Amino acid sequence: MAMFACARPLLLVAAFGLLACTPRFENATTVIDLRLLGVKAEPPEILIDLAAAAAAGTITDPLPPVVLTPLIVDPKGAARPVQIRVEACPNDPDEAIMGGMGMRPGMVGDTVSDRPCGDGAVLIADASLPAGPDGTVPFETTFTPTLPFLIEAARADPLGVELGLPVRITFTVKAGDETVRSFKRILFSQRLSPDHQPNQNPVVTRFFMRQRREDPREPLDATMPPVVPRGTSLRIAVAPAVAEAYSARAFNATERRFYTERVPEETLRYSFYATRGIFAPSSVSNDPSPLLTNPTTDLETTYEAPGEALPPGADPHVDVFVVVRDERAGASFTRTRLRVE
Amino acid sequence: MVNTSSLLAIAAVACFATVRPAQAQGDFQQRRPGPVDAGARPTPTLTRPPRVITGPNPTYPPAALAAGLIADVTMQVDLDAAGQVTNVKVTGPARADGGVATEFDDAAMAAVRAMQWGAAEIDNVPAPIRFEYTLRFRPPRLVPVGDGGGSDGGVSDGGAASDALTSQVGDTAPAPDLAPRAPAIFPLGRGVLRERGTRDPLESADVRVIRAPDPSTPGAEPAELTSTTDGEGRFVVEGAPGERVRVVIATGQHEPCIREFVLPAADATPVELTCLVKRLAINYETVVEAPRKGEEVTRHSLSQPELTSVPGTFGDPLRAIQNLPGISRAPYGLGLLLVRGASPQDSGVYIDGHKVPLLYHFAVGPSILTPDLIERIDFYPGGFGVRYGRASAGVIDVATRTDPVKRFHGAADVDFLDAGAYLEGPIGGGYSMAAGARRSYIDTLLPLVLPEGETVAAPVYWDYQARISRSISPSERISVFAFGSRDSLEVLSSDPDSGSLDLGTSVMLHRVIGTWTKAWDGWTSRLSPSYGFDSVGFRAGTVDADGSAHVFGLREEVTKSFGDSFSIVAGLDNELRFDRVAFNVPLPPERRTFGRTRRTITDISRKLSNLGVAGYAEVLWDVVPRLRVVPGIRFDWFHYSATDKISVDPRLVTRLELAEGTFMKGGLGLFHQPPTPQQLDPQFGTPTLPLITAQQFHYGVEHAFSPAIAIDGTVYYMRKLDLPRTSGRRAADGGVERYAPDGRGRGYGFEVLLKHRPTGNFFGWVAYSISRTEERRRNTRGDGPPATPYRPTLFDQTHNLTALASRTVGDWEFGARFRLVSGLPQTPILGGEYDADQNDWDPVQGEPGSVRRQTFHQLDLRVEKNFIFEAWRFAVYLDVQNVYNAENPEANVNDYRFRQTAPVRGLPILPILGMRGRF
C-alpha cells in the first residue's frame, strides 16, 4: 500500500527540498511472494582463443555447456506449480543507448543491454515444477552455446569481440497470477594470454552474528538457528568470498585505443533477503561508497525482526538468503535460518 | 519629422504636475502667521481628475534624436467640461541643447492636442480644468528609470487621487489667465516641499499663493501668484505685509500641501514652511514604454511595479518573468529558465548585455540582483535580434539602473529566507553610487526545527551589488557595475554502519561591467567591457570537483540614423574564457562489466581557452511609413574546447502598422549554439560535433485597445538540427564514439498576452500559450542507433495559463495569481524486470512521453500594507503560495520492482512574511 508517512513539517520540506516524504512501500529484502533472487551460471565466463580462431577460420575450442541455476523462491505458494521459461539472445547495444534522455556520453558500459530478450530468442528450457518444502524451486538447466549463435551475437554487437561478448539469458517465472521476468549474462571473452583464467563464481561459506557492534562475532549455524526476539535486531556478517584479480580489454579514451587492463581485485556485493523481517542495509560490499569520508567495509548488516506475533502453530523460522555477485556476472547464493519468537 | 513607431526609442513620461482649479476663491480667517486649516466653509472638491484615454504618441524631433538630445516639456493644458483640449502652452521650456527646443515644444503640444482626455469632475460634475503635463523625450540607451519596452503606454485614469485634492474650486468657467497683483510684493515666506516617507525634495511643484479678496471691493475675486519649486524643493511666498494668504502646493502625484497664514511685516522674519506630503496611492507618473526598436518579433518587458508586486514571487523581479508567455513552468518553483519547452542551457541570460551563468540562487531562492537595482527586464521567447547569440531558444536581458541619483536612499528587506540592504546616493563630483547586499539565514533557522540527528542540507547564499556612475553630460554617461553571488549547500550526517557523509557544493560568480555611453552628431555608442570570475565546487568523501573561469567580455554597439527612415546598428559581442577544471570523480570503467563495479577515482584536469567572437549589423528601414523591415546578420567564430566553428546567422523582422495601434509582425532567422564543453571534450565528448542550428519563424499581431490595455499574439515554428545524442558506436578511428549529431527538434505554438499596464492603482495580465516541443533521433549514417519518432521534450507543456492582477487601495496592495499548466510529459511504467547481475530492477517503459503528469493549478495571494512616516516608509507583506494547498504532483516514486507508484507532491501552501523599509 503506497501511503505517505510525512511527519516532517511540509513547509520546510517543500521549500527547501531537504527531506523527502517516503511512501511506505514493500521492503525489497523481505520475500513475501514469488521472487527470483539470483542466478548462478557455471561457468560464468568462457574464454575464446581469437588468435587460434583467426588462424583456423573458426573457433577450435569446444564450447562448454553452462549450467544455469536460478534462486527462485515462492514462500507462500503452498507447492503450487511454477512455470519457468529460459531463453538466450545476443547483446543489443542499441537498447542501452536508446535508454534515458540520450544526452549522456556513450561510454563502453552504455553498450551493454539492460533488458531481457525480446522476440527471436533461443529457447533453452520450459518447465513447470512446484516449490520444495523450504519455499525454493529446485530448478536447473543447461545452455550449450553454438557457433552460429556466437557468430550472430558478434554481428549484433560490434564491440563485443574486442571488449567481451555478453549473451543474455532470460528467465520468465510464473506462478498463479504472478510473473517475474529476469535476466543475466554469460560472458564470452577473448583469451588474453595462455594463463588467462575465466571468471569463477564467488561463494559465501560462513555467517557470523552479534547483537551489538561492540560484541564479538559468533558463527551463525543454520542447523541451530539463533533466536531473535520479535521487534529486536541481530547483526549478521558474511565471511568474505574470494575477490579475484583479472585482466580485461578496455578502451583508453585519451589515446583512442583498446588495451588490456589489469584489475587487482574485483568488486563483490552481498545481498540479503529474509522471508520475514528486513535487512538494513540490503547489500554490503568490499567497495565502499567514495562519497563517504570514513566508510565501513565489514560486510555486516542488521536483521530487524518483525514485531507482530505469529499465529499459533506457525513456523517461527525465517529463511535468510544471501546472494554474492562479482562484476563479471559471477554469482552464487547461500541459505541460513533464524528463529523469530 | 520621424514617425513615433520608427524611432529607436522614445521614453515619454507623462505627468500631471498640478491640477489647478479653474477659479479659486477663499474664505480666509484672520489668524496669526503660520499653518492654518482651509476655510471652514465646505469647499468644492476635485472628485475626479482628468484622465488620458488615448495617447500620448509624440514624435521625436529627428534632429534632436540624431544628436541624442533629451528634453522635458511642461505644458499648461486646459480642458473643457467635455474633455476637449481648449488650450495648450508650454510653461517649462524644453531643456535641450542644440537649438531644437522649439521642435520639442511643438512636438509635445501637438501630442497633447491629439490626445483624447476624460473630463475632470468637481463635486462629481464634469468641469473645465487646467493642469500641467510633462512629456519627457529620451533617445535610446540614455533612458532613465521608467523606460520600458513596447510601443504604447498609458496614463493613469485618476481615481483615488481626487479624494485627496481638496483645494477650493469655484464655478466651472474656463480659468482666466493669472494676473498677479502688482504693488507691494515682498518675499515674506519661504519653505521646502518634500515627500513624506523619503524626504525627497519635490521639484517643479506648482506653488499657488492665493491672496485674500480686497474687502473694500465688493465682489472682488481672490488672485493667485504662482511659481514652482526648485530642484531642492524650495519655494518663496510673496505678498504684501499683513496680507492673508493661502498657499497651495501640488505636484499631482502627492497630496497637496495647503497652508493659510498672515504674512509678517516687511522687515520681520519670513514665515518658514516645511511641507511633507504623502505620495498618493495612485501613480500619476506613468511609464510609457519605449517604442519597439523592431529588431525582434516578440519581446515582453516588465517594469515597476510589475517587477516587485507579482504574487508568488516574493517581490523578486526576476521571478516575475516566469509568468510571461513562452516561459514554461519549472517544477517545485525552481529558478530554471525554461523557454518554449527547451532546456535551460538553450537560453541566454544577460545582465546589462553580458552573459551570466545563473540568475537565481539555489532551489526556490531569489534572484542574484536586488530589486532596487533593476530597471527593466526584457524577455525574448525566440526570434531575438542579432545582438544576441550563442543560444537557440530565448533570451532574458536584465537592464540595471544607470541614472544618477541626487539624494541618498536606502532600503532593508527581511523575510523568511534572507535579509538584505541597499543604499544609493551622490558622492560628489557628479558621481553616484549604489550598493546592496543580501544573505540567507535558513541555515541558522533550519536546525531549530529539524529533528536532532537529521541530515542537514541548508542552502546558504549571499550576493552583493555595487555601482558607480557619472553623467558627464546629457548625452554621455559612464558607469561601473560590480556584482556577485555565492550559493553553497552543506550536508552532514553520520551513520556508524556505513560512514560519514560530508557533502559540500558551491556556486559563485563575480562580474564587473563597465559602460560608456555617448551620443554625438547623430551617432550613439555604447562600449561595455566586463570581467568575471565563476567557480563551482563539489566535494563528498574522496570525490571532489572544482571548476573556475576568468571571463572577459567586450561589447560595442553603435547606431546611426540616416534621414527619417533608415538607421543602422552594428556591434561586436566578444567573450574570452579561461576555464580550469579539476575533477576527482568516480568514473565507470571503460570496460564491459556486468555487476556493480568499483569506480576508479579519476583525476581529470583541463585548462581551456574558449573564445567567442561575434560581429553583427542590422538595418532598421521604414520602407513606407507604416512598414519597417529589419534585416540583420550575425557572424560568430567559436574557439571552444580547442575546436573551431563558424556560423552565419541571417535574421529578418518585418513590422507593419495596419491601423492606429495595430501591428502585424513577422520574422525568421537562423540561430547557432555550440555544444557544451563536455560534449566537445576529446576524452568524454566528440570534438567534431557541429554547432546546434535553430531555424525560427514567427508571425504575430499586436493591438492596443487603449493606452493601458493591449494584446500581443504570436505563432511560431522552430526547427533544431544537429542536437548531440548518445552514440556508443565505433567511431571512424575505431574507438568508441561518445556523441553523434543525430538529434532533431521542433517546436510550434501560439502565445498571447493580454496586458493591463500599470496605471493608477492596477496592473495585471493574462498569458496563455499552447505549444508543442519535440525531439527525435535520426540514424543519419545508417549504422547508428535506430531512429525514433518525434516525442515531447522533458519540459514540454501543452497549455500554460497565467492570470494575475494587483490593485492598490489606499495603503494596501492586494494581488492574486492563478496558474493552470499541463503536466509534464511522462513515460508510463508498465512493470519491472530484474537484472540478476546488477541486483537492480529496471522499469519496463511504455512509449516515452506518451502520458502526462497531473495538470498543475495553483493560486497565490499577496497582501502588502504600507506605513509612511516622515522620513521613511515601511511595508509588511504576506505572500502565500498555493493558497488552497493543491497537491500538484511533480514526480512519481515507485517500489523496488515497479509495481506500486506514489506521487511526490509539489510545493504545499507556503506563506512568506516579509518586511521592507525604505528611506
pLDDT tens digits along B105-115: 888 888 888 88
Put simply, whether B726 touches A (Cβ < 8 Å) is yes
Q: B792: which 3 cell numbers?
A: 515531447
**pLDDT (tens digit, 9 = 90+) per residue, A181-194?**
999 999 999 999 99
Please check whether residue A329 is in contact with residue A166, taking contact to mean a CB–CB distance below 8 angstroms.
yes
Option in B726, B794, B910 nearest A105 (CB): B726
Please check whether residue B509 is in contact with residue B358, taking contact to mean a CB–CB distance below 8 angstroms.
yes
- Residue B827 per-residue DSSP state: -
Put simply, whether B777 touches A (Cβ < 8 Å) is yes
> Cell 488650450, residue?
B87
The DSSP bridge pattern shows strands B566-587 and B543-561 to be antiparallel
**pLDDT (tens digit, 9 = 90+) per residue, B307-361?**
677 777 777 777 788 888 988 888 877 777 889 988 888 999 999 999 998 888 8
Q: Shortest CA distance to B752 belongs to which of B795, B703, B825?
A: B703
Put simply, whether B904 touches A (Cβ < 8 Å) is yes
Q: What pLDDT, on a 0 to 100 scale, did the predictor assign at position B550?
A: 96
Compute the distance between CA of residue A268 and CA of residue A240 in angstroms, rounded to an integer. 9
Q: What pLDDT, on a 0 to 100 scale, did the predictor assign at position B73?
A: 75
Option in B459, B590, B678 nearest A107 (CB): B590
Neighbours of A215 (CB within 10 A): 10
Q: What pLDDT, on a 0 to 100 scale, did the predictor assign at position A169?
A: 97
Amino acid at A109: G
Whether B729 and A96 lie within 8 Å, measured CB to CB: no
Q: What is the ipTM of this complex?
A: 0.93
- Return the SS3 of A2: coil
Q: What pLDDT, on a 0 to 100 scale, did the predictor assign at position B161?
A: 28
B186: confidence class by pLDDT, cuts 50, 70, 90: low
- The full DSSP string for A140-203 is -EEE---HHHHHHHHHH-TTHHHH-EEEEEEEEEEETTEEEEEEEEEEEEE--STT--------
Q: In a 10 Å sphere around its CB, with 0-12 CB exposed, 13-18 middle and 19+ buried, how is residue B636 labelled?
A: buried
The angle subtended at Cα B184 by Cα B182 and Cα B186, nearest 5°, is 110
Compute the distance between CA of residue B761 and CA of residue B777 in angstroms, rounded to an integer. 52
Residue B438 has pLDDT above 90, yes or no: yes
φ, ψ at B489 (rounded to 5°)? -140, 130
Chain A residues with CB inside 8 Å of B450's CB?
12, 18-19
State which residue of chain A sits closest to B544, comparing Cα positions. Answer: A291
Whether A11 and B910 lie within 8 Å, measured CB to CB: yes
Compute the distance between CA of residue B349 and CA of residue B612 in angstroms, rounded to an integer. 16
Q: Which helix (H) or strand (E) holds B477?
A: strand B476-495
Compute the distance between CA of residue B195 and CA of residue B279 in angstroms, rounded to an integer. 7
- The full DSSP string for A263-328 is ESS---EEEEEESSSEEESSEEESS--TTBSS---S-EEEEE---SPPPTT---EEEEEEEEE-TT
Is it true that the peptide bond before B61 is cis, omega within 30 degrees of 0?
no
Whether A261 and B541 lie within 8 Å, measured CB to CB: no
**pTM over the 0.80 mark:** no
Compute the distance between CA of residue B831 and CA of residue B298 in angstroms, rounded to an integer. 45
CA distance B830 to chain A (A): 13
Q: A3: which 3 cell numbers?
A: 501511503
- Residue B101 per-residue DSSP state: H
Residue B15 has pLDDT above 80, yes or no: no
Option in B540, B595, B684 nearest A253 (CB): B684
First CA to last CA distance, chain A: 26
Please check whether residue B687 is in contact with residue B681, taking contact to mean a CB–CB distance below 8 angstroms.
yes
Neighbours of B812 (CB within 10 A): 12
Q: B343, B501, B592: best mutation site toward chain A, by most A Cβ within 10 Å?
A: B592
- Give the B window 196-235 contacts with A, CB below 8 Å: none
Q: B498: which 3 cell numbers?
A: 556505513
Q: B738: which 3 cell numbers?
A: 561518445
- Give the A window 87-116 contacts with B, CB below 8 Å: 93-94, 96-98, 100-112, 114-116
β-bridge mates for residue B681, sequence order: none
B503: region left, alpha or beta (phi > 0 left; psi from -120 to 50 alpha): beta
**pLDDT (tens digit, 9 = 90+) per residue, B858-889?**
999 999 998 988 888 899 999 898 999 999 98
Q: What pLDDT, on a 0 to 100 scale, did the predictor assign at position B892?
A: 87
B851: confidence class by pLDDT, cuts 50, 70, 90: very high
Over residues B495-503, mean pLDDT: 71
φ, ψ at A39 (rounded to 5°)? -135, 130
Whether A163 and B592 lie within 8 Å, measured CB to CB: yes
State which residue of chain B sits closest to A189, comparing Cα positions. Answer: B592
B753: confidence class by pLDDT, cuts 50, 70, 90: very high
φ, ψ at B364 (rounded to 5°)? -95, 20
Q: B837, B858, B887, B905: best mutation site toward chain A, by most A Cβ within 10 Å?
A: B837
Whether A2 and B895 lie within 8 Å, measured CB to CB: yes
Over residues B654-678, mean pLDDT: 92
State which residue of chain B sits closest to A107, comparing Cα positions. Answer: B728
Please check whether residue A300 is in contact with residue B552, taking contact to mean a CB–CB distance below 8 angstroms.
no
Option in B449, B498, B786 nearest A296 (CB): B498
> Cell 523469530, residue?
A340
Please check whether residue B261 is in contact with residue B34, taking contact to mean a CB–CB distance below 8 angstroms.
yes
Q: Give residues with Cβ within 8 angstroms of A311, minimum separation 6.
A: none
Chain B residues with CB inside 8 Å of A290's CB?
540-543, 586, 599, 601
- The full DSSP string for B313-357 is TTT-HHHHGGGSTTBPPPGGG-----BTT--GGGSEEEETTEE-S
Put simply, whether A329 touches B (Cβ < 8 Å) is yes
**pLDDT (tens digit, 9 = 90+) per residue, A216-231?**
999 998 889 999 999 9
* Neighbouring C-alpha atoms within 13 Å toward the C-beta of B307: 24
Please check whether residue B329 is in contact with residue B822, taking contact to mean a CB–CB distance below 8 angstroms.
no
Going from the C-alpha of B610 to that of each of A296, B227, B574, B675, the distances in angstroms are: 43, 62, 11, 13
Option in A28, A108, A329 nearest B595 (CB): A329
Whether A253 and B450 lie within 8 Å, measured CB to CB: no
Chain A residues with CB inside 8 Å of B592's CB?
108-109, 111-112, 163-164, 166, 187, 248
Option in A18, A97, A294 nearest B728 (CB): A97
Residue B16 has pLDDT above 80, yes or no: no
- Give the B window 250-269 contacts with A, CB below 8 Å: none
